[in-house]
Amino acid sequence: MTLFDDILNGVEHRFCLRHPYSNFKKKFGGGVVISDLMMGAAKATFYACWEKKMGELRNINPEAYNWLIGIPRSSWCKHAFNIYPRCDVLMINLSESFNSTILLAKDKPIISMMEWIRSYTMSRFATLREKLNAYPGTIMPKP
């Protein structure tokens, strides 16, 4: 039993993949092949794809394979996530998400970049508002 199980019984706990990945990288090095296999295994949406990536990793580095097998799949592998939360995000860090989103605008002059970010943010909020208005269920319980 972990502390999460004691305090939040029945609540699913996932890792931000950034943290296990940085531990993995410290322990087994930052080689492109090994880290690509670890990320590929984490992003696999089907068990067979995960098994294939992990098999390739086992052939290249058995220690890395054993280390990853020791971590519960439901906390870092997309294929093993519970579908109830309806969220399959692997990297939870907001700044990483933001930086990957504005990659297209980073090479523009500052005013153009800020305009791109403003228009992207406004359209994103509008899209989310439309989805929220179309959702038939209750989002949160009423106080």
Say whether pLDDT at 91 is over 70: no
pLDDT confidence of residue 97:
75
Q: Which two tokens stand for residue 6?
A: 């004691």
CB 129 within 8 A of CB 54: no
Dihedral of the CA atoms 131, 133, 138, 143 (nearest 10)? 120
- The predicted model gives 28-47 an average pLDDT of 84
Domain limits of the chain? Answer: 3-80, 94-134
- Assign 59 a pLDDT band (cuts: 50, 70, 90): very high
- Assign 106 a pLDDT band (cuts: 50, 70, 90): confident
Say whether pLDDT at 78 is over 70: yes
CA distance readout (Å), 105 to 12, 123, 127: 36, 15, 20
Residue of 2, 68, 4, 9 whose CA lies nearest to 34:
68
Percent of the chain at pLDDT > 90 equals 24
The Cα–Cα gap between 55 and 48 comes to: 10
pTM: 0.56
The Cα–Cα gap between 59 and 62 comes to: 6
